[in-house]
């Protein structure tokens, strides 16, 4: 149900791209905001206070969309950092997702509280899913993602084309991939979050639970990342070292390629995992019972 809500939010974003005639890469969330008569965009250096905030002002019947432009420092005039673009897109989610919009209109200026709004984690995750769908629409991204199995080089190339962060691009690529692949975020030496493509799950590899341990290679690489000397690198492991296979013996020997991507700003070691298509057991090999 939760997943469904997030998918709906991304679909809504793609509808908005069509309605506003904005389906060109890189997507311009600023132009979309400017096309809405009731939105006023206000960018400033809000330091540590917030990345973005949407307020409804009843008397003027206006939404004020504040965004922190501190990440744009050093860029050429008019250019925006992927993080700024994501913040504005996230706030547009609060504007375009009907329950969010209604909430803000109901709230009124006097009782509006940012804390109140942030408390409902589902609402924030919906706005994030909207932002990812807006900046990385499946109509444009899916064909590019599925030319070949995912790699960090492909993710980097697409992040450049769509002007999005490596992490949000990689997550979206995995979600849209027709190849068996996954992405895992490692914090404090254990799995913090993961995303798995449908073909990976269909092959019998289920995402690890939060707090799971890493593969042997991952455990070896973790200290370098923690000390700040980690680099982009590749490794190899048995897929069962990362995924839950529910003791399906025929999956035990399948290898996974590990692509390590340190992201110090998120205190996260991101690991992209891919399996070559021909490395998966064929139907005959896996036809050894145990399945319903
Ligand atoms: Zn929000």
pLDDT digits 0-9 by tens, 239-270: 999 999 987 888 888 999 999 999 988 889 99
- Residue ranges of domains in the chain: 2-135, 179-279
Closest residue by Cα to residue 63 from 24, 27, 26, 93: 93
* Rounded average pLDDT over 216-239: 93
Q: What is the mean pLDDT of residues 10-39?
A: 97
If you average pLDDT over every residue of the chain, what do you get? 89
Whole-number Å distance, alpha carbon 57 to ligand 1 midpoint, is: 17
- pLDDT, residue 155, reads 95
CA of 91 to the centre of ligand 1 (A): 6
Distance 251 CA to ligand 1 centre (A): 41
Contacts of 209 (CB under 8 A, 6+ apart): 191, 244
Q: What is the CA(290)–ligand 1 centre distance, in A?
A: 45
* Domain boundaries 2-135, CATH class: mainly alpha
Return the pLDDT at 249.
81
Q: Which H or E element spans position 98?
A: helix 98-111
Lowest model confidence (mean pLDDT) among 106-120, 160-174, 205-219, 234-248 = 106-120
**CA atoms of 182 and 273, how far apart (whole Å):** 5
The reported pTM is 0.87
Report CA(90)–ligand 1 centroid distance (Å).
Answer: 6
Cα separation, 206 vs 229, whole angstroms: 31
DSSP 8-state code for residue 206 = B
**Tokens standing for residue 230:** 């980690």
99 Cα–ligand 1 center, Å? 13
Output the CA 204–ligand 1 centroid distance in Å. Answer: 35
Question: Quick one: pLDDT at residue 110?
Answer: 31
CA 187, CA 271: separation in Å to the nearest integer? 11
Show the beta-strand stretches assigned E in 146-280.
Answer: 181-187, 190-196, 233-238, 255-263, 268-274
Lowest-pLDDT range, 88-97, 152-161, 178-187, 261-270? Answer: 261-270
Question: What pLDDT sits at residue 113?
Answer: 39
124 C-alpha vs ligand 1 centroid, how far in Å? 5
H helices of 146-239, where?
A: 152-162, 166-176, 198-202, 216-226
Are 251 and 281 within 8 A, CB to CB?
A: yes
**How many angstroms separate the alpha carbon of residue 123 from the centre of ligand 1?**
7
The distance between the two most distant Cα atoms of the chain, rounded to a whole number of Å, is 69
Q: Which two tokens stand for residue 98?
A: 């009907």
Q: Quick check: 57 and 38 in contact, CB under 8 A?
A: no
- Please give the CATH architecture assigned to the domain spanning 179-279: 2-Layer Sandwich (3.30)
Backbone angles phi, psi at 241, to 5 degrees: -70, -20
Calculate how far, in angstroms, residue 268's C-alpha sits from the geometric centre of ligand 1: 22
Identify whether 26 is preceded by a cis peptide bond (ω within 30 of 0).
yes
Mean predicted confidence (pLDDT) in 54-66 = 93
pLDDT band at 223 (very low <50, low <70, confident <90, very high): very high
Determine the distance separating the centroid of ligand 1 and the alpha carbon of 131, expressed in angstroms. 10
Of the pLDDT bands very low, low, confident and very high (cuts 50, 70, 90), residue 209 is very high
Return the pLDDT at 124: 86
> What residues pair up with 196 in beta bridges, in sequence order?
182
**Cα 23 to Cα 14: distance, rounded to the nearest angstrom:** 8
The per-residue b/e assignment along 15-31, b for 16 or more CB within 10 angstroms, e otherwise, is ebbeeeebeebbbbbbe
Q: Ligand 1 centre and the CA of 36: distance in Å?
A: 19
Q: Do 186 and 284 form a contact (C-beta atoms < 8 A)?
A: no
Q: What's the pLDDT score for residue 279?
A: 79
pLDDT bracket for residue 280 (50, 70, 90): confident
Q: 53: CA distance to ligand 1 center in Å?
A: 7
The reported pLDDT for the residue numbered 118 is 40
């Amino acid at each position: 149900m939760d997943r469904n809500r997030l998918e709906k939010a991304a679909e809504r974003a793609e509808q908005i791209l069509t309605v506003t005639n904005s389906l060109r890469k890189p997507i311009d969330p600023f132009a979309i905001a400017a096309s809405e008569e009731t939105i006023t965009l206000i960018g400033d250096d809000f330091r540590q206070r917030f990345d973005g905030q949407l307020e409804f002002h009843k008397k003027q019947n206006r939404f004020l969309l504040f965004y922190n432009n501190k990440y744009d420092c050093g860029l050429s005039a008019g250019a925006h950092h992927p993080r700024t673009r994501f913040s504005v897109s996230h706030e547009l989610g609060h504007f375009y997702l009907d329950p969010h919009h209604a909430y803000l209109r109901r709230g009124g200026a006097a009782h509006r509280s940012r804390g109140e709004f942030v408390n409902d984690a589902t609402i924030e995750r919906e706005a994030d899913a909207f932002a990812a769908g807006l900046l990385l629409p499946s109509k444009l991204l899916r064909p590019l993602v599925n030319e070949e199995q995912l790699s960090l080089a492909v993710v980097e190339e697409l992040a450049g084309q769509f002007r999005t962060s490596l992490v949000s691009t990689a997550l979206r690529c995995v979600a849209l991939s027709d190849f068996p692949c996954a992405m895992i975020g490692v914090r404090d030496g254990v799995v913090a979050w993961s995303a798995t493509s449908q073909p990976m799950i269909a092959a019998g590899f289920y995402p690890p639970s939060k707090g799971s341990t890493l593969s042997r290679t991952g455990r070896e690489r973790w200290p370098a990342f923690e000390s700040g000397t980690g680099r982009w690198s590749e490794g190899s492991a048995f897929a069962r070292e990362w995924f839950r296979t529910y003791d399906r013996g025929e999956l035990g020997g399948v290898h996974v390629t590990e692509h390590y991507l340190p992201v110090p700003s998120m205190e996260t070691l991101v690991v992209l995992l891919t399996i070559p298509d021909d490395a998966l057991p064929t139907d005959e090999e896996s036809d050894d019972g145990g399945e319903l």
